[in-house]
Structure 1
Amino acid sequence: MQSDSSQRQEVTPVLVLNDRDNVAITRRLIAQGELLGSLAVAKGSIPAGHKVAIRPIKLGDPVLRYGQIIGFATKQIEPGAHVHLQNMALGDFDKDYAFGADARQTDYVDAPATFLGIRRPDGRAATRNYVGILSSVNCSSHVANVVADVFKKNPFTGTDPLAEFPNVDGVVALTHKTGCGMTGGEPLNLLRRTLGGYARHVNFSHVIVLGLGCEVNQIGGLLEEQRLVGRVRSMDIQTMGGARKTVAAAVEFVREVLRDSNEVTRQPIPASELIVGLQCGGSDGLSGVTANPALGAASDMLVRQRGTVILSETPETYGAEHLLTRRAVSREVGEKLISLMDWWDAYFKREGAVMNDNRSPGNMAGGISTIVEKSLGAMAKGGTTSLVEVVKYGETVKGPGLVFMDTPGYDPVSATGQVAGGANLICFTTGRGSVFGCKPAPSIKLASNTAMYQRMQDDMDVNCGEVLTGSETVEECGKRIFDLILRIASGERTKSEEFDFGAAEFAPWVLGATV
Structure 2
Amino acid sequence: MKQSVLKVHPQDNVLVALRNLQKGEAVYYNNEEFFILDNVKAKHKFAATFIPKNGDVIMYGVLVGKAEMDLPKGAVLTTGNIKHATNDFSIGERKTAWHKPDVSKWQDKTFNGFHRADGSVGTANYWLVVPMVFCENRNLEVLQEALVAPLGYGRRKVYQNQALKLINLYKAGISVDALLQADIYVEDIEEKNKPLFPNVDGIKFITHEGGCGGTRQDAQALCSLLAGYITHPNVAGATVLSLGCQNAQVSMLQAEIQKRSPLFSKPLYILDQQQTGTEANLLSLAIKQTFAGLVEANQNERQPAPLSKLCIGLECGGSDGFSGISANPAIGYTSDLLVALGGSVILAEFPELCGVEQNLSDRCVSTDQAERFSSLMRTYNDRAQAVGSGFDMNPSPGNIKDGLITDAIKSAGAAKKGGTSPVVAVLDYPEKVTQPGLNLLCTPGNDVESTTAEVASGANLVLFTTGLGTPTGNPIAPVVKIASNTTLFQRMSDIMDINTGTIIEGEETIEQAGARILDYVIQVASGDVEVSAVRHGQDDFIPWKRGVSL
CA offset digits 1:38-58 (Å, max 9, x no partner): 331222221111101121111
Checking the alignment, whether the CA contact within 8 Å between 2:156 and 2:192 is kept in structure 1 is no
After superposition, residues 150-165 of structure 1 pair within 5 angstroms as: 150-152=147-149, 153=154, 155-156=156-157, 163-165=195-197
Q: What's 1:129 paired with?
A: 125
Task: Look up the match of 1:11.
Answer: 2
TM-superposed CA distance for 1:166, in Å, is 1.8
Indicate conservation of the 8 Å contact 2:335/2:418, yes or no.
Answer: yes
Cα distance in 1 for partners of 2:194, 2:372 equals 46
Match of 1:79 in 2: 73
Match of 1:508 in 2: 543
Q: Matched residue of 1:226: which SS?
A: helix
**Deviation of the 1:101 alpha carbon:** 2.4
Residue identity in the other structure for 1:123: G
- Could you tell me whether the CA contact under 8 Å between 1:312 and 1:404 is conserved in 2? yes
Secondary structure, in 3 states, of the residue corresponding to 2:148?
Answer: coil
- The question of whether the paired residues in 1 share the 8 Å contact of 2:319 and 2:467 is answered with yes
Q: Deviations over 1:205-261 (max 9, x none)?
A: 110111212111122332244328875211122222233432222122222222222
Give the stretch that moved more between structures: 74-83 or 118-127.
118-127
Correspondence 1:179 to 2:216: no
1:22 is matched by which residue type in structure 2?
A: N
RMSD: 2.0
Structure 1: gaps spanning 5 or more residues: 1-9
| Deviation digits for residues 17-37 of structure 1 (CA, Å, limit 9, x no counterpart) | 122111111111222222221
SS at match of 2:381: helix
Q: Is the 8 A contact 1:135 1:144 kept in 2?
A: yes
Opposite residue 370 of structure 1, the aligned amino acid is: T
SS in 2 for 1:190: helix
Within 5 A, what are the aligned runs for 1:68-467?
68-91=62-85, 93-95=87-89, 97-104=91-98, 109=103, 111-149=107-145, 150-152=147-149, 153=154, 155-156=156-157, 163-184=195-216, 186-227=217-258, 231=266, 232-467=268-503
CA distance in 1, matches of 2:348, 2:37: 38
User: 1 CA distance for matches of 2:11 and 2:256?
Assistant: 52
* CA deviation after TM superposition for structure 1 residue 108, in Å: 8.1
> 1:6 corresponds to which residue?
none
Determine if the alignment matches structure 1 residue 50 to structure 2 residue 41.
no
Unaligned runs of 5+ in 2: 162-189
* Distance (whole Å) between structure 1 residues aligned to residue 125 and residue 257 of structure 2: 22
1:149-201 deviation per Cα after TM superposition (whole angstroms, max 9, x unaligned): 331416349696762222211101111101000221x3222111101111111
TM-score (norm 1): 0.93
Q: Distance between the aligned counterparts of 2:55 and 2:337, measured in 1?
A: 38
Looking at structure 1, the residues matched to 546 and 361 of structure 2 have their Cα atoms a distance apart, in angstroms, of: 27
Structure 1 pair 97/428, CA: closer, same or farther in 2 (3 Å)?
same
Which residue type is aligned with residue 205 of structure 2?
Answer: A
Instruction: Describe the shift of the 1:74–1:315 C-alpha distance in structure 2 as closer, same or farther (beyond 3 A).
Output: same
Once the two structures are superposed, what CA deviation does each residue of 1:45-79 show, in whole Å capped at 9, x if it has no partner? 21111101121111010111111110010011112
- Write the letter of the residue equivalent to 2:522: L
2:186 is matched with none
Distance (Å, rounded) in 1 between the aligned partners of 2:155 and 2:86: 56
Q: Is the 8 A contact 1:21 1:65 kept in 2?
A: yes
Question: Which moves more between the two structures, 303-312 or 344-353?
Answer: 344-353
- When structure 1 is superposed on structure 2, of 88-97 and 201-210 the one drifting more is 88-97
What CA deviation, in whole Å up to 9, does each residue of 1:300-359 have, x standing for no partner? 010111000000011111111111112111111111110111111221122221221111
Counterpart secondary structure, 1:459: coil
Q: Identity across aligned pairs (percent)?
A: 36
Task: Please give the per-residue CA displacement for 1:380-425, whole angstroms capped at 9, x wherever unaligned.
Answer: 0000111111011111101211000111111111111111111100
SS of the equivalent of 1:83 reads coil
1:122 is displaced (CA, Å) by 3.4
Is the contact made by 2:206 and 2:541 (CA closer than 8 Å) also made in structure 1? yes
The alignment of Structure 1 onto Structure 2 pairs a total of residues equal to 501
**Partner SS state of residue 248, structure 1:** helix
- Describe the shift of the 1:99–1:509 C-alpha distance in structure 2 as closer, same or farther (beyond 3 A): farther
* SS state at 2:537 partner: coil
- Contact kept in structure 2, 1:195 and 1:420, CA below 8 Å: yes
In structure 2, the residue corresponding to 1:101 is in which secondary structure? coil
In terms of mean alpha carbon deviation, does 216-225 or 267-276 score higher?
Answer: 216-225
Could you tell me which of 1, 9, 12 is aligned with 1:21?
12
What CA distance in whole angstroms lies between the structure 2 residues aligned with 1:71 and 1:467? 26
Tell me, in whole angstroms, the C-alpha distance in 2 between the residues paired with 1:61 and 1:12.
28
CA distance in 2 between counterparts of 1:497 and 1:154 reads: 11
Indicate if the aligned counterparts of 1:106 and 1:386 stay in contact, CA closer than 8 A: no
Partner of 2:363, secondary structure, is: coil
Corresponding letter in the other structure for 2:503: V
Structure 2 Cα separation of the partners of residues 512 and 247 of structure 1? 34
Change (3 A) 1:483 1:100: same
Separation in 2 of the partners of 1:154 and 1:93?
50
Distance 1:466 1:486, change over 3 A: same
